[in-house]
């Protein structure tokens, strides 16, 4: 443990050196705003390595993410706002406070009870803020936001009684999208359909973001196969008829199922 702490604070000191007057010109001029996109990028790279089950790469990507956290912390320290000790102390206190069934006398015998306790404690921390939805960051991707707010609403009992009810709602929204005349109406109805489909994913315990990423990956692989075949035959994709393109698509699906692409 002591060796790990030494490594950690060595990294903290490296970042402080980079930000010092005699440090790196690029690092010195960065601000919270100028590097915030890297925080998002590194988080997504961590997610990608998890999705691809690249355990050896995960260690490196977690380090890159930690670097971003420590950079923001060093900037705050320079401004006299807080330091890494404050960050660690606050999250430690929060974890103890929100797990009274582990560190206190509260009872929570199921994951649902843990979540209920968590929400109640969080409400108290926010001075009695009543809306569960306010805890969801509004600038996260829309699909993740939709999933999160519907999941929180369901905790209060505001949810469909059965899965068939959601499927009926999907068909209703498809009908309304078909009937939409103006572009604003189409945007409105398409948004409603996406919202309901996200709820379908929640009921099936599916991460909609992950499901869409996998679908994107399948499309990419199949279309790339089609392009490769066209290249081998010295023809352009747009020279094929739709039926020919569809035949190639089905061929790509078969190759995919056989594990050949």
Per the structure, the complete domain to which residue 65 belongs is given by 2-96
- Lowest mean per-residue pLDDT among 112-116, 129-133, 152-156: 129-133
Residue 188 and residue 232 share a domain: no
User: Who has greater pLDDT, 203 or 131?
Assistant: 203
Rounded to an integer, what distance in angstroms lies between the CA atom of residue 154 and that of residue 163? 13
Give the confidence band of 227 by pLDDT, cuts at 50, 70, 90: very high
Q: Can you give the pLDDT at residue 119?
A: 80
Residue 59 has pLDDT above 90, yes or no: yes
Nearest to 148 by CA among 195, 90, 214: 195
Residue 235 and residue 151 share a domain: no
Q: Can you give the pLDDT at residue 130?
A: 63
Mean pLDDT rounded to a whole number for the chain: 94
What's this model's pTM, rounded to 2 decimal places? 0.68
Residue 90 and residue 54 share a domain: yes
Residue 176 and residue 222 share a domain: no
- CATH code for position 188: 1.10.287.1080
């Amino acid at each position: 443990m002591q060796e790990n702490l030494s490594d950690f604070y060595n990294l903290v000191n490296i970042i402080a050196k980079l930000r010092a007057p005699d440090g790196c010109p690029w690092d010195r001029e960065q601000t919270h705003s100028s590097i915030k996109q890297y925080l998002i990028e590194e988080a997504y790279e961590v997610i990608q390595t998890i999705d691809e089950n690249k355990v050896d790469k995960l260690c490196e990507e977690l380090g890159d993410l930690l670097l971003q956290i420590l950079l923001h912390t060093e900037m705050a320290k320079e401004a006299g706002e807080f330091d890494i000790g404050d960050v660690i102390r606050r999250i430690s206190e929060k974890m103890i406070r929100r797990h009274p069934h582990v560190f206190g006398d509260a009872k929570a015998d199921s994951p649902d009870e843990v979540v209920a306790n968590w929400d109640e404690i969080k409400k108290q921390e926010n001075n009695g803020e009543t809306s569960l939805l306010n805890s969801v960051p509004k600038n996260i991707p829309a699909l993740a936001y939709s999933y999160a707010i519907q999941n929180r609403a369901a905790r209060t009992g505001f949810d469909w009684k059965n899965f068939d009810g959601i499927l009926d709602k999907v068909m209703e929204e498809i009908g309304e999208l078909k009937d939409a005349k103006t572009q604003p109406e189409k945007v409105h109805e398409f948004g409603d359909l996406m919202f309901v489909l996200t709820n379908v994913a929640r009921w099936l315990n599916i991460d909609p973001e992950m499901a869409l990423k996998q679908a994107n990956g399948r499309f990419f692989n199949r279309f790339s196969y089609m392009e490769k075949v066209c290249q081998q035959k010295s023809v352009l994709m747009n020279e094929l008829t739709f039926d020919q393109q569809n035949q190639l698509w089905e061929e790509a699906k078969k190759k995919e199922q056989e594990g050949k692409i």
